[in-house]
Homo-oligomer: A and B are copies of this chain.
Amino acid sequence: MRGEAGLPPVDMSVKVGPLALPSPVLVGSGTFGFGEEYAPYCDLARLGAIVTKAVTLRPREGNPGPRIWETAAGMLNAIGLQNPGLERFLAEKLPPLVAAGHVVIVNIAGHDVEEYVKLAGALDAAKGVAAIEVNVSCPNVSRGGIEFGRDPAVLGELVRAVRGATRLPLIVKLSPNVSDIVPLAAAAMEAGADALSLINTLLGMAIDARQRRPRLANVTGGLSGPAIKPVALRMVWQVWQALRPPIIGMGGIMTGEDAAEFMLAGAAAVAVGTANFVDPTSASRVAAELEDFCRGQRINHVSELTGGLQV
């Protein structure tokens, strides 16, 4: 239906807190590398922003393999934050993205508050970073983020510290592995977050019954993909109902209609993650399909969808 005669164009620009984006469709951290791998397949110009793989202060090797395993309508991953580290990120990965004109959101992860603060400070000083996404939920590194994301007080402390280190828009990416997501969302917002990303992966596990061994060398891993969409939608809706914060929704988005569902539940923008692996054109396709969806529904501005669920 795109370009159908007589129908007005859809305004796809959105605001996620202080962050103005040309499109509500982003990519999920860790599912799009640093952008370069998908450039041959996906029209990056259609994306609201490119969210990088988690960057840590020092380079990380990541976990041994096997690191991934397919599950029913989903996949487990235990990459273990493999990344070249802050220095090489700033020198090698960031400049080409900025030069190409992309909005770049940098996902960061650390072992302790100090590391997060250093990362945020360095990115604040760098050229071309549009926002920082704080990963407080990566379930794969034993001393990693997961504790931050499970306790409102601990989370608040972290976010307050990072907030003090940067004037960039601050997005906090929450873990879904909690009893109640709302107090964590509230703690992050009160501590100065500008927006929330919901959700990171669910902690899961797979077993090779014949070998009697876990499928992942790390034993457990993060579950993503269509399998988790119902949980992700529920959390976005719960947080939206309680707090009305700016939300970037994600978890199993495969189509433009999936994206619309997240926006109706309360998301201001969405991210396409695992879908990129299934169809390398996913991110731009979802953006195009969302635009078509709006056109079909006589919606002039995509942001009208946000929180539009009738309950």
Give the interface of A toward B (CB within 8 A): 71-74, 76, 150, 177-180, 202-207, 209-210, 212-214, 219-220, 223, 225-231, 233-234, 237, 252, 257, 260-261, 264-265, 293, 297, 308-311
29 interchain pairs, CB-CB under 8 A: A71-B227, A72-B73, A72-B227, A72-B229, A72-B252, A73-B73, A74-B230, A76-B230, A150-B179, A150-B180, A178-B178, A202-B231, A203-B234, A204-B231, A204-B234, A205-B234, A207-B261, A207-B264, A207-B309, A209-B257, A209-B264, A212-B308, A212-B309, A214-B309, A219-B311, A220-B234, A226-B227, A227-B228, A227-B230
Quick one: closest B residue to A225, CB to CB? B72
Cα-based distance from A31 to B260 in the complex (angstroms): 32
Which of B72, B209, B212, B257 is in CB contact (< 8 Å) with A226?
Answer: B72
Contact A205 B178 (CB under 8 A): no
Cα-based distance from A122 to B222 in the complex (angstroms): 43
Quick one: closest B residue to A260, CB to CB? B209
- Chain B residues, CB < 8 A from A223: 230-231
Contact A226 B73 (CB under 8 A): yes
Which of B73, B203, B230, B310 is in CB contact (< 8 Å) with A212?
Answer: B310
Contact B205 A265 (CB under 8 A): yes
A202, A230, A257 pick with most chain B CB within 10 angstroms? A230
Q: How far is the CB of A206 from chain B (nearest CB, A)?
A: 6
Which of B71, B257, B260 is in CB contact (< 8 Å) with A229?
Answer: B71
- Chain B residues, CB < 8 A from A297: 210
- Chain B residues, CB < 8 A from A252: 72
Q: How far is the CB of A213 from chain B (nearest CB, A)?
A: 5
Contact A227 B293 (CB under 8 A): no
Cα-based distance from A40 to B209 in the complex (angstroms): 31
Quick one: closest B residue to A265, CB to CB? B207
Cα-based distance from A225 to B72 in the complex (angstroms): 9
- Chain B residues, CB < 8 A from A261: 206-207, 209
- Chain B residues, CB < 8 A from A178: 178-179
Which of B71, B180, B226, B310 is in CB contact (< 8 Å) with A230?
Answer: B71
Cα-based distance from A125 to B293 in the complex (angstroms): 59
Cα-based distance from A252 to B73 in the complex (angstroms): 12
Cα-based distance from A265 to B231 in the complex (angstroms): 24
- Chain B residues, CB < 8 A from A72: 73-74, 225-227, 229, 252
| A237 with B179, Cβ < 8 A, contacts A71-B229, A72-B252, A309-B213 known | no
Quick one: closest B residue to A203, CB to CB? B234
